[in-house]
Structure 1
Amino acid sequence: MNPFVLLFIAIISEVFGSSMLKVSNGFKRLWPSIGVVIGMGIAFFCLSLSLKHLPLGTAYAIWSGVGTALTAVIGVLVWKEKMHAKKLVGLILIIGGVVIMKLSGAAH
């Protein structure tokens, strides 16, 4: 499978797992807690498979950066967290950093 497809699955799974943390109530709710374990398990498994073909720094930067940005967007859209200028600038910087890492290391 394409390593970027695996990385995409890892990102979506991590975002799902992180979102389930919000509703797990400190692992006191069973199904959201199971969602955390499954989401994070798939995320790490797919990330590990993508690392067979991608440089560690590049893959991890993309995984963590895009995951952070998507989780922040979900916080705004689903949990009605405030989006303010500093948060928006931070997200833009994260995405910019991911793009630079992708351009610098994944062309092998």
Structure 2
Amino acid sequence: MFYWILLALAIVAEITGTLSLKWASQGDSLAGFILMMVMISLSYIFLAFSVKKIALGVAYAMWEGVGIILITIFSVLLFDETLSVSKVVGLAILISGIVLIKTGTLKNKTTEVQHGV
């Protein structure tokens, strides 16, 4: 459970860092760039620790996929970006892919345990 919490923290840090990138590009302050650098760095650190017990493919798919979904939602809400039908379809396909990767990983682990691998 601890490693899933680290993955969640990696996702939150990634979202915060990416959104601060947009914020920094709209203003004259260095604070946004500093926040971006700190949060993206923390995101990679948390991700690195989470893959000690979570399969790399699953962790990366969730980190990137959930991050993209939430960044898109927050971009629409905070920065008035548009959400087209093609973006919604793309996000739905992304969610399907994450679910398939996660499900495939669970089945492979179960098979390995049953076969004594």
Q: Would you say same fold, with TM above 0.5?
A: yes
After superposition, the Cα gap between the structure-2 partners of 1:36 and 1:27, relative to the gap in structure 1 and judged at 3 Å, is: farther
Partner of residue 19, structure 1: 19
* Percent of matched pairs sharing the same residue: 32
Q: Greater CA deviation, 97-106 or 40-49?
A: 97-106
- Give, as a single letter, the amino acid of the residue that structure 2 aligns with 1:3: Y
Q: Distance in 2 between matches of 1:25 and 1:65?
A: 24
**Gapped regions of structure 2 (runs ≥ 5):** 110-117
C-alpha deviation, 1:68, in angstroms: 0.8
Bigger fraction of residues in helix = 2
Over alpha carbons, which structure has the higher Rg?
2
Q: Distance in 2 between matches of 1:15 and 1:30?
A: 18
The number of residue pairs the alignment matches comes to 108
* Length-normalised TM-score, structure 2: 0.84
Q: Structure 1, residues 68-102: CA drift from partner, whole Å, max 9, x if none?
A: 11111111111111112111111111111111111
Note the aligned Cα RMSD (angstroms). Answer: 1.9
- Give, as a single letter, the amino acid of the residue that structure 1 aligns with 2:56: L
Q: Distance in 2 between matches of 1:106 and 1:10?
A: 22
